[in-house]
Structure 1
Amino acid sequence: MQPAYEGRRNTSEAHWQAIREHGFAAIAPCDLMDEQGDMPLPVEGGFHLRENYVGDHLKNYGSMLVLSHFKGHAMGGFGGALKNMSIGVASARGKGHIHCSGGPFTKMQDMFDADHNSFLESMADADKSVMDFMGRENIVYVSVANRLSVDCDCDANPHEPEMADIGIFASLDPVALDQACVDAVYASPDPGKAALIERMESRNGIRTIEAAAELGLGSRSYELVSLDE
């Protein structure tokens, strides 16, 4: 299958090597969900997508923990639960499909030339398909807001973080969770937050949260409950 991106994880073998190097294989069973192919999930009432392509192995699971590293992103503005459930769950073909909002994807440059806001909305479309397939009651979301670089972990040379860690957030609502993380960045007293805020605003990152809320995937309103150590 054609890889969606260049880099250290553009083949199954390279993925497995990264898994071993990071120690994941030593502590838990690991699965490349699209290693044997992918499958389409229907998108009902989406902005752009009519189907979303995910790894075929997704059908083997009855529940999902979406564990995300909240940080900036060169295209999405930020990456959190919604991006992880869309791009992260998508197969190699699915990643290009989302980036190009269902349009042609023949080379990596197509992703950078595609309409930007349509890409942000297409991530919300993909989220809806996964939530509908898994059942919303079967998904839990946890986002770790540490090492808050303006760049994603997929970047081979991410910029060093300029602000301090914020904490760990959890919810049954991915929209509320991403909104809470974004709000926490703005509310931080750390002046280093300026770089991450500029990245989020310059990429209109909030549009993914808005689109997900408009699709009924959750609420942008929330109650923040702090747990004592």
Structure 2
Amino acid sequence: MASKVYMADMESNSNSESLVKKLSKLFYKAGFHELFDENDLTAVKQHFGEPGNTAFIRPVFTREIVKNIKKEGAKAFLTDANTLYVGQRANSVDHLHTAVANGFSYATIQAPVIIADGLRGKNSRDVEVNLNHFAKIKVGSEILEADALISLAHFKGHELTGFGGTFKNVGMGFGSRAGKQMMHSAVLPEIEEEHCIKCLQCVKYCPEDCITINESESTIDHEICIGCGECVVTCPTDAITIEWESTSEGVEERMVEFFYGIVKDKKDKCAYINFVNNVSPDCDCASWNDRAIVKDIGILASKDPVALEQASLDLVNNEQYAAGILADKKIKPGENKFKYVHPDTDGGIRQIEYAEELALGSRDYELIKI
């Protein structure tokens, strides 16, 4: 049977039809209010935006979701995990400053912000998944403590996964810093000798005792290394560099395996919303955003993340492309626009296929406009 995906379009001509009010209608039409028990600690996962980026989900929408969670007797908190790359969200202090600067303060949202993997991205737990790429994954501890989860994802392009939506928001988003390294690359790390200050912090945090640091050498034994990324996120001088994989499908599959592990113990307590607006070519992790590749489409909600991602992708692909980055492309109706924007990717198809293979949902959906 087809999964139900609910959609609010962009049309409004009265206060009762504002996009904020429509978001509340989606919340109840999709049955999200049925997920909560009294006093459930409910994680509201979204990207708080990198400074300089303006495409991320607006705080006014987040506040409406928080209001509805509280109305049902649950307790909401906003959350995300620290980034792997060195930017303004790589530790909790900078991350919280960025969240507040972009409008996600308690005063505006009426909910606290809790960074899921702690001060330096090391507050994580191993979750057993036993899938094709990973036996265990490293996840920010606080999301595992939450009773329920609502994902607010900005649906947009991504240079490595084709597009970023629900699977990226939850899977990549809640991976600890070491977990994000695991997802981004199957390539094992190396130490750049000229930048190593022999502080031994990497040795301290290596779980496999595979790092040798002395006066004559700084090396990682690849016969023992499991690619967990702890050394990468620990090194204070970036002598152990982040490894970025250039292929799409492997990253997409590893990201979905993280998603699987994060939601597996709260499958009946998860809800997913995609904002298919400001569909920028690149991720909100960039400190800028280019013009959208299509016009604003609307907001979609479902308890089935696979159906939600497929419906969002179909709507974007069936839309007329906007001028700008796609202006000189001869795109036929229904063709994957993200494949044109990021030709080294598969346009994000594999993440949806793989999620369905892992029984996370169905690509067969019924789109219901409210």
Could you state the TM-score of these two structures normalised by the residue count of structure 1?
0.89
Alignment of 1:19-98 (within 5 A): 19-25=99-105, 26=107, 27=109, 28-35=111-118, 37-44=123-130, 46-98=131-183
Instruction: Assess, with a 3 A threshold, how the Cα gap between structure 1 residues 101 and 41 changes in structure 2: closer, same or farther.
Output: farther
How far has the Cα of 1:200 moved from its partner?
Answer: 5.7
2:297 aligned partner: 166
Aligned to 2:87: 7
Tell me the amino acid that sits aligned with residue 29 of structure 1. P
Deviations 1:15-70 (A, max 9, x none): 011111012122221110111611111113x2211111111112321100011000
Kindly report the root-mean-square deviation, in angstroms, between the aligned alpha carbons of the 2 structures.
Answer: 2.1
Shift of the 162–54 alpha-carbon distance from structure 1 to 2, 3 Å rule, reads: same
Whichever residue aligns with residue 277 of structure 2, its letter is: N
Q: Alpha-carbon deviation of 1:126?
A: 0.9
CA spacing shift, 1:75–1:171, aligned 2, 3 Å: same
Letter in 2 for 1:59: L
| Secondary structure, aligned partner of 1:47 | coil
The residue number in structure 2 matching 1:139 is 270
Matched, 1:216 2:302: no
Secondary structure, aligned partner of 2:264: helix
Q: Is the 8 A contact 1:175 1:217 kept in 2?
A: yes
Deviation at 1:116, TM superposition (A): 3.4
Q: Scaled by the length of structure 2, what TM-score is found?
A: 0.57
Tell whether the 8 Å contact from 2:126 to 2:138 is kept in structure 1 after alignment. Answer: yes
| CA distance in 1: counterparts of 2:283 and 2:254, whole angstroms | 19
Q: What is the aligned length?
A: 223
Q: Identity percentage over the alignment?
A: 32
1:173 offset after TM fit, Å?
0.6
After superposition, the C-alpha distances for 1:175-198 in whole angstroms (9 at most, x for unaligned) are 110100000011113454984431
Runs of 4+ with deviation above 6 angstroms: none
Is the Cα–Cα contact under 8 Å of residues 291 and 324 in structure 2 kept in the other structure? no
Equivalent in the alignment of 2:345: 203
- Cα pair distance change 1:200/1:180, threshold 3 Å: farther
In structure 1, the residue matched to 2:283 is 152
Letter in 2 for 1:35: G
Letter in 2 for 1:67: L
Runs of at least 5 residues in structure 1 that lack an aligned partner in the other structure: none
Counterparts of 1:34 and 1:6 in 2: how far apart (Å)? 16
- One-letter identity of the residue aligned with 2:97: Q
Establish whether residue 110 from structure 1 lines up as the match of residue 240 from structure 2: no
Q: How far is the alpha carbon of 1:109 from its aligned partner? A: 4.1
